[in-house]
Structure 1
Amino acid sequence: MDGHEISDGVVALRRWSTDDAPWYAETVSADPLIQQFTAELPTVTAEDVRSAIRGLLAKPTDAAGFLIADADSHQRLGNIALTYEEAVGDVSYWLADYARGRGIATRALRLFTHWAHTVLDLSELRLWAQVNNTGSRAVAERAGYLRDPERDKVREVKDESWSTVSYVHRWTAPTVT
């Protein structure tokens, strides 16, 4: 998170700004799919989000995240983030309803995955999707993540038990000869 933007010419990942907080809070609280398939709470406020963004911008050593945006218009499209320990990171993402179905999540996950492996030097990225979240599962597979059924489990999310499926992306740094 060096203050730069990561882009493939269609999708851009950029650092969060506290100015993004109202959009984030409004988007997650009003979107039924975000509420159904993520741990985002419907009661999140812009101030809650501003506080989280300030923490992220303070350059923590165990978390990273970007706003997903349109590379040309800069329209806000979603969120992608991870927490990590040692060389392993746990990835999460969501898109606003108007951004879905255009390949944006797959592009964002590919960009983010490459960034996490090369900049943070993470050797393994994992993600979990609710078993019924076919959209997120397809995004993971299109972005090169492999099913990791040994890590499937029931998770407690928002006071509910969710059956989740696991995906993994492993990286071996290229050797220099």
Structure 2
Amino acid sequence: MPYLRNPVLPAGTLARTPQPTLDAGDGLLLRPWRAEDAPAVHAAFQDPVLHQWHVRSCDSVAEAADWIAEWQRCWERERDAQWAVVAPDTGRLLGRVALRQILLADGVAEIAYWTVARARGRGVAARATTALTRWAFEEIGFHRLELLHATGNQASCRVAGKTGFALEGTKRSALLHPDGWHDMHLHARVRGD
């Protein structure tokens, strides 16, 4: 059965070119993940804060290497797009920012991020989110970007507010964490906001 409209973004929109490096300015670079990032990803996931707000753990450098290999494949499949957030002068890992749950035909994706402990409180997540949002809207042509976080995660709520993602509501009991079901805030931006 044919659709009554053309896709917002056709298949191949992302995969037709290599994943870009994005200069966020102000001391941040968003670049594709590299195999040599595995020890830094493993170290980041030893942080109790990531355990509190994320549903995965990373038990070894080998597991982190597997994640990175999967993140690299996701670009080609146009399902997710993951970037390492690094200091441009040292290459030191500061965090991760991603487009997840990509639906090209609808022009929709979800923004996700985390930061390493030493980078928190420095605006890293907000600056990386701003750079990725700008790229997704202006360079690629997405129509809507969503941002979800546990309602108890006030730091993520502040990032959403600082980056112009309006709070649209609460998804009740929407994500199962090790400590039980979490309500999730749904924030979003639409192209042109």
In the alignment, the residues of structure 1 paired with residue 72 and residue 78 of structure 2 have an alpha-carbon distance, to the nearest angstrom, of 14
The structure with the larger Rg is 2
Structure 1, unaligned stretches of length 5 or more? Answer: none
- Counterparts of 1:153-172 in structure 2, within 5 Å, are 153-158=172-177, 160-172=180-192
Q: Is the 8 A contact 2:108 2:142 kept in 1?
A: yes
- In the other structure, the counterpart of 1:68 is 85
Q: Deviations over 1:28-48 (max 9, x none)?
A: 1x1111110123324462343
- In the other structure, the counterpart of 1:93 is 113
Residue identity (%): 22
For residue 78 of structure 2, what is the amino acid of its counterpart? T
- In the other structure, the counterpart of 2:6 is none
In the alignment, the residues of structure 1 paired with residue 185 and residue 137 of structure 2 have an alpha-carbon distance, to the nearest angstrom, of 22
In the alignment, the residues of structure 2 paired with residue 136 and residue 88 of structure 1 have an alpha-carbon distance, to the nearest angstrom, of 20
- In the other structure, the counterpart of 1:55 is 73
- In the other structure, the counterpart of 1:145 is 165
For residue 72 of structure 1, what is the amino acid of its counterpart? D
SS at structure 2 position matched to 1:26: helix
In the alignment, the residues of structure 2 paired with residue 119 and residue 157 of structure 1 have an alpha-carbon distance, to the nearest angstrom, of 34
SS at structure 1 position matched to 2:142: coil
In the alignment, the residues of structure 2 paired with residue 158 and residue 134 of structure 1 have an alpha-carbon distance, to the nearest angstrom, of 17
Say yes or no: does 1:4 pair with 2:21. Answer: yes
Shift of residue 153, structure 1, vs aligned partner: 2.7
For residue 14 of structure 1, what is the amino acid of its counterpart? R
Say yes or no: does 1:31 pair with 2:51. Answer: no
Structure 2, unaligned stretches of length 5 or more? Answer: 1-17
**Pairwise CA RMSD of aligned residues?**
2.0
After alignment, is 64-73 or 155-164 more displaced?
A: 155-164
For residue 25 of structure 2, what is the amino acid of its counterpart? D
Give the number of aligned pairs: 170
Q: Is the 8 A contact 2:115 2:125 kept in 1?
A: yes
